[in-house]
Amino acid sequence: MQRQLCLQNSEEAVSPIIGTILILGIMVSITGTMLAWGIPQIQESEAYAIYTSAQNNFLNFDDDMDKVILQGEGGSRVSTVSFSAGTFVHRSDLDEIRYYYTTVNWSEPKLVGVENGSKEFAIIDSKEVVSNFNVSIAYPNGTFWNGSSSSRLVNGFPALIYGTTATYSSSSNDTQVGGFLMYGTDSLSYSYGSVSGVYKMRMFNGGIVSREPGGPFFVSSKPLTRSIGEEGSYDVVNFYQTDYNLSLSAKAIMAGNYVFEARNQGGSDNSMEIYSLRMAFKGDSAIALKNYYLTNWGFSRTTFYFTSTESSKAASMGFEEDISYTQDSAFDFRVMERDIHVTFSLR
């Protein structure tokens, strides 16, 4: 009876040892949750803040770069750029851009196989007006190659390189029907690795493409493209192709505060009256650039390929998914090549 009465009158529901264990368990759970979720979230927020700060700096630098490119030879600007983490580097020919054009409205040459290093490509008139083409290729070192298509193939020329241009004409009457220009585009690139992944930005042709962890590249500042004309058609379209020359300064810099000076060294202007334009891109930035011109400039997606009936060898070259634009009236197509000298020093 005494033992039973003692138990009934006890006020302790849980022993002190078990209570201490429960409290410790709760504290460990809370701490673990903070370590597993809270701290990574803070680190990701910090990483994004560093990236956006660098992006704002480069957007300002890009705006100054646009003015340098548009001012003409001798134009220059001084910019201040700051970033607290990451690496800024000059990369030559990071992306490839090819422009194909037609200079008549009664022929539509289709080409497959043109790219850096190619020694052969296929060509055919989609409108079946021109049977064979005479082809003239100009290389950036001043040399030329002249030949003709045979069985819808052009070969025997030195390997194509960046800066190469070509024209093709009807072998029956020597009328030029089109041509192409091929460029490797230099890039001023920023990269920052964090717990979230790698953030990237690339400045080229008066624009910026960016990539955030888990996503594709996207256009964060529009490439330099100028046009004159009414809605739905153009009288003039200008594209700018920039090369960066950093021969007198370091090729890469780490985080810090810098003074950048950009100077326009001039370049060549390519101008021709055309009816259709095809643009091809190769590199990490390709999808972003395609989507930009599809959305803003009236281009459409086009797949270029050869059937085995047209040419069994050309058919083995595969297909190319590019973008194209065509209008009934001719318009002035210009590619403005600009060499931009960039130097930077600590501020």
**Token digits for 168?**
């093709």
Q: Is 12 domain-assigned?
A: no
What mean pLDDT value characterizes the chain? 88
Structural domains in the chain (count): 1
Q: Tens digit of pLDDT for each residue in 63-102?
A: 999 999 998 899 999 988 888 888 888 888 999 999 999 9
Q: Is 334 domain-assigned?
A: yes
308-324: average pLDDT: 93
- State the Cα angle at 80 between 79 and 83, rounded to 5°: 135
Q: Is 3 domain-assigned?
A: no
Q: Tens digit of pLDDT for each residue in 266-275?
A: 999 999 999 9
250: confidence class by pLDDT, cuts 50, 70, 90: low
Q: Is 25 domain-assigned?
A: no
Q: Is 23 domain-assigned?
A: no
Q: Is 95 domain-assigned?
A: yes
Report in angstroms the alpha-carbon separations of 222 from 76, 92, 195.
21, 20, 29
Q: Looking at the DSSP assignment, which residues form a beta bridge with residue 145? A: 137
pLDDT of residue 7: 46
Q: Which range marks the domain in which residue 176 is found? A: 46-346
pLDDT of residue 164: 97
1: confidence class by pLDDT, cuts 50, 70, 90: very low
196-221: average pLDDT: 93
Q: Tens digit of pLDDT for each residue in 277-295?
A: 999 999 999 999 999 999 9
Handedness of CA 16, 22, 27, 31 (dihedral sign): positive
Taking Cα atoms as reference points, which of 168, 78, 82, 77 lies closest to residue 129? 168
User: What residues contact 246, with CB distance under 8 A and at least 6 apart?
Assistant: 90, 341, 342, 343
Q: Tens digit of pLDDT for each residue in 21-52?
A: 767 766 666 665 655 555 666 767 788 888 88
pLDDT of residue 14: 54
Q: Which residue has the higher pLDDT, 321 or 195?
A: 321
Return the residue matching tokens 């009816």.
275
150 DSSP assignment = B
Q: Is 143 domain-assigned?
A: yes
216-243: average pLDDT: 92
**Token digits for 301?**
């997606």
- State the Cα angle at 252 between 250 and 255, rounded to 5°: 115
Q: Is 169 domain-assigned?
A: yes
Q: Tens digit of pLDDT for each residue in 156-195?
A: 999 999 999 999 999 988 899 999 999 999 999 999 988 8
CA distance 114 to 135: 13
pLDDT of residue 33: 60
